């Protein structure tokens, strides 16, 4: 029993207990140990321990569609009575008819318009309430779980592990910044000021004596691909030493991060677990991973096999 207790204590003290032993987990631990060991040639002062995480498909599920797109579709249905013209206008017509192929046919332009329109026309405070209310009850169409329960347990442990090692951890997502901020602190332990994302234009004005920030149906900043390094520099002012993603939208973020001086770390989550999650990569509409799968290993990036490297997928598993 003494032996068993010791094993129990060991297991409990492993900050990455949902990760299987192997070279992926070892690469993470080696990197963190190297940059945090005082006197090591690779030592990095805490102020420069910047780590950036993509969100969709890296920290939580993005299939069968981005959670934010599910939110936008719900908003179209909910606000359709105020927009009778939507019955005959794409992309709304397809959404209201439940025709996702029709929506897809409107292309990126249609989808961006859909997101912009459903996310605009209210104040920032109002939008925060709408998004908060929605995420509190919205459920995944297949698992019936809350979306915020479909976050990846190994990645939650990784964030905590980095925090425990005095890293400053940021989300850097193509998703809407104000869609994420209401819940990232509670779900990931990442406060709103450490969330970087895409945004629509806003305006400050005083209405009936009350200052408000209103949201407009026009893109301000797209935090994807080349946009990620730009968003990071704008928000953080430093190049990360570690970056975590899952798709080619993260390629430039990892490229920029891992080409800096000193020890660097890039990691790509590869969705290869058809049994416990969804297997997808080169041909996926959401979270396409093609170039990263070919070039990542050559660039020294760590590719996570969800199937082999993760003991557990979701916190409630």
| Interface ranges with its own copies (CB under 8 A) | 47, 50, 124, 168, 170, 177-178, 181, 185, 191-195, 199, 202-206, 210-211, 213, 226-227, 229-230, 233-238, 252, 255-256, 259
Q: Nearest distance from residue 33's CB to its own copies, in Å? A: 24
Tokens found for residue 187: 């779900």
- Closer residue to its own copies in complex, CB, 91/231: 231
Nearest to 295 by CA among 282, 277, 308, 279: 282
213 binds, among Ca ion, its own copies, none (CB under 5 to 8 A by kind): its own copies
Q: Measured from the CB of residue 100, what is the shortest distance to Ca ion in angstroms?
A: 20
Residue nearer to its own copies on the CB measure, 75 or 168: 168
Tell me which of its own copies, Ca ion, none is bound by residue 178, counting a contact when its beta carbon lies within the kind-specific cut-off of 5 to 8 angstroms. Answer: its own copies
3-state helix, strand, coil in the chain (%, to 5): 45, 20, 35
The DSSP-derived string for 199-248 is: EEEEEEEEETTEEEEEEEEEEEE--STTHHHHHHHHHHSS--SEEEESSG
The one of Ca ion, its own copies, none whose footprint includes residue 247, by CB under 5 to 8 A per kind, is Ca ion
| Rounded Cα distance, 147 and 130, in Å | 16
Q: Residue 209 Cβ, how far from its own copies at the closest point, in Å? A: 8
Find the residue with minimal CB distance to Ca ion: 57
How far is CA 198 from its chain centroid? 12
Cβ proximity to its own copies, 140 vs 238, nearer residue: 238
Residue 246, binding choice from its own copies, Ca ion, none, Cβ under 5 to 8 Å by partner class: Ca ion
Shortest distance (Å) from residue 11 CB to Ca ion? 31
Based on CB atoms, which residue is closest to Ca ion, 94 or 247?
247
Task: Give CA–CA dist 30/46, Å, rounded.
Answer: 17
How near is the Cβ of 144 to Ca ion at its closest, in Å? 23
Q: How far is the CB of 214 from its own copies (least distance, A)?
A: 11
* DSSP string across 298-310: GGTPEEEEHHHHB
Residue ranges in contact with Ca ion by CB under 5 A: 54, 56-57, 246-247
**Side by side, which strands form the sheet with 265-270?**
210-221, 195-207, 168-176, 50-53, 242-245, 265-270, 302-305
Residue 17 binds which entry of Ca ion, its own copies, none, CB below 5-8 Å type-dependent: none
Q: How far is the CB of 151 from its own copies (least distance, A)?
A: 19
> Quick check: 150 and 60 in contact, CB under 8 A?
yes
- The answer to whether residues 243 and 52 touch, using CB atoms and an 8 Å cutoff, is yes
Question: 94 or 198: whose CB is closer to Ca ion?
Answer: 198
Shorter beta-carbon distance to its own copies: residue 143 or 259:
259
Please choose which of Ca ion, its own copies, none residue 211 contacts, taking the beta carbon within 5 to 8 angstroms, the exact cut-off set by kind. its own copies
Cα–Cα dist 311/317, whole Å: 10
């Amino acid at each position: 029993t003494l032996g068993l207790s010791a094993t129990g204590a060991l297991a409990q003290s492993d900050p990455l207990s949902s990760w299987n032993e192997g070279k992926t987990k070892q690469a993470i631990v080696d990197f963190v140990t190297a940059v945090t060991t005082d006197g090591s040639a690779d030592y990095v002062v805490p102020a420069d321990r910047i780590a950036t995480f993509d969100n969709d498909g890296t920290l939580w599920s993005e299939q069968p569609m981005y959670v934010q797109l599910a939110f936008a579709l719900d908003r179209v249905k909910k606000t359709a009575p105020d927009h009778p013209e939507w019955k005959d206008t794409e992309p709304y017509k397809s959404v209201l008819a439940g025709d996702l192929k029709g929506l897809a046919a409107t292309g990126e332009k249609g989808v961006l318009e859909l997101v912009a329109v459903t996310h605009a026309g209210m104040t920032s405070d109002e939008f925060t309430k709408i998004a908060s209310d929605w995420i509190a009850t919205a459920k995944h169409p297949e698992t019936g779980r809350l979306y915020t329960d479909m976050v990846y347990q190994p990645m939650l442990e990784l964030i905590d592990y980095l925090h425990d090692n005095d890293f400053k951890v940021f989300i850097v997502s193509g998703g809407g910044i104000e869609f994420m901020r209401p819940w990232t602190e509670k779900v990931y332990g990442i406060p709103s000021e450490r969330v970087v994302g895409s945004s629509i234009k806003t305006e400050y004005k005083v209405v009936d004596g009350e200052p408000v920030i209103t949201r407009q149906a026009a893109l301000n900043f797209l935090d994807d691909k080349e946009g990620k390094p730009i968003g990071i520099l704008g928000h953080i002012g430093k190049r990360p030493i570690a970056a975590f993603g899952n798709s080619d939208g993260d390629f430039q973020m990892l490229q920029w991060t891992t080409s800096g001086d000193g020890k660097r770390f890039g990691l790509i989550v590869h969705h290869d677990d058809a049994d416990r999650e969804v297997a997808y990569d080169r041909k996926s509409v959401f979270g396409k991973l093609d170039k990263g799968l070919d070039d990542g290993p050559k660039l020294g990036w760590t590719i996570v096999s969800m199937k082999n490297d993760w003991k557990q997928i979701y916190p409630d598993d």
